Amino acid sequence: MLKLMMSSKETKMKLATATMIVTIASACLTTGAFASPEKGLEIAIEADSRDKGFGDSTAQMTMILMDKYGQSTERAIRNRTFEGDNEGDKSLVIFDSPGDVRGTAFLSHTKKADSDDQWLYLPALKRVKRIASSNKAGPFMGSEFSYEDIASQEVEKYTYNYLRDEQLNGLDCFVVEYDPVDPKSGYKRQIVWMDKAEYRVHKIDFYDRKDALLKTLTYEDYNQYLDKYWRSNRLVMINHQTGKTTELVFADWKLQTGMTERDFEKSALKRIR
């Protein structure tokens, strides 16, 4: 009888130990205790490599600004990108409507290590204004996107930490923490959900310098071009602290159109029509 009781006690102890191990493992997966900087970097490099070679791209874009009361305004925009070689990509955003922003143009030369070069052309003043690196966290044209959000996201701009695998909208995803290298960034960190099949970003949570959740960006309606390059047709940025939302809707994507670096020079801003 004593032997049976001891056996039963040992069994309960083993079950309790097994339960504890499962609980600890589950907690580690949730909190990122099994995090891996090496795997995080590998994922970021693979995602970047899959988009290399597109050359240049153009698209029509509608920017929808919505306040916390649900009132919205729309802007018609042309979007152009030129793929960088030794440095990051160059991008040009041209506003066509409404009238109060017509002719405004934003040019960004992304740097892999240094601060980006960014300029804003204001047609009413007929002058080009340089965006100071200290203002990169500021809102872009009154939207919930900042100037640093508009620039291309080069691998060298972050350190990485793979946190876990997780399903998002039925897709198996990597969850990776991106920590900006630039101390002037408006973010302390970003949590990125990227699908395992195609390495496309589907969601980003942005945390401010105080490490409070600031914004969430979601990518929807992906389409593939030239049998290789994926582009999202709908981006939605929600600001959790202000209640405002900015939606970007893309159409008429074209890749490898033949643009050159001259089309993205600072001097070209005043010639834009």
Provide the pLDDT for residue 135. 85
30 and 49 share one domain: no
Q: Name residue, tokens 């995080």.
A: 40
Q: Is residue 113 part of a domain?
A: no
74 and 195 share one domain: yes
Beta carbons of 176 and 164 less than 8 angstroms apart: no
**Residues 178, 179, 183, 188, Cα dihedral to 10°:** 100
**Residue whose C-alpha is closest to residue 171's, from 230, 227, 214:** 230
215 and 163 share one domain: yes
51 and 15 share one domain: no
Q: Is residue 265 part of a domain?
A: no
Q: Is residue 116 part of a domain?
A: no
Provide the pLDDT for residue 133. 82
Q: Dihedral of CA 205/208/209/210: which sign?
A: negative
Q: Is residue 9 part of a domain?
A: yes
Which tens digit of pLDDT belongs to each residue from 56-83? Answer: 999 999 999 999 999 999 999 999 999 9
Task: Say what the pTM is.
Answer: 0.86
166 and 192 share one domain: yes
Provide the pLDDT for residue 22. 40
209 and 136 share one domain: yes
229 and 166 share one domain: yes
22 and 73 share one domain: no
**Residue whose C-alpha is closest to residue 217's, from 158, 145, 137:** 145
14 and 80 share one domain: no
Q: What's the structural domain count of the chain?
A: 2
219 and 246 share one domain: yes
Provide the pLDDT for residue 15. 47
Q: Is residue 71 part of a domain?
A: yes
Range of the domain at 251: 44-84+132-257
Low-confidence ranges of the chain (pLDDT < 70): 1-33, 273
157 and 213 share one domain: yes
* CATH number of the domain where residue 184 is located: 2.50.20.10
60 and 26 share one domain: no
Return the DSSP state at 120. Answer: E
